[in-house]
Amino acid sequence: MAEIKIDVKGETCPMPLVEARKALMKASPGDIVEIIGTHPASKKEIPMAVEALGLELVDVQEKDGIWKIKIRR
């Protein structure tokens, strides 16, 4: 099981969400996808997409304006 890291720091709407979706499409079931970014709304919206896709939200963290979201495909 792979761990895939996606860096979208500095990217704005809709790219963090879109990059997260693209990474999840490419990942295999069981893989962990970690997205790191700064766009404030995406911190809420990526977990919404995870729920809509029926996937597992593993962890959400934020420090100094940089968030990290971990998702299991």
Q: Is residue 72 flagged as an active site residue? A: no
Tokens of 6: 């996606």
Compute the distance between CA of residue 27 and CA of residue 56 in angstroms, rounded to an integer. Answer: 13
Q: Is 31 in contact with 3 (CB distance < 8 Å)?
A: yes
Exactly one of 4, 32, 36, 55 binds other proteins (CB under 8 A); that residue is: 55
Active-site position among 1, 2, 3, 13? 13
4 lies in the site for other proteins, by CB under 8 A: no
Would you say 47 or 68 has its CB closer to other proteins? 47
Residue pair 55/28 in contact (Cβ under 8 Å)? The answer is no
Q: In the complex, which residues of this chain contact other proteins (CB under 8 A)?
A: 10-15, 17-18, 20-22, 25, 48-49, 52-55
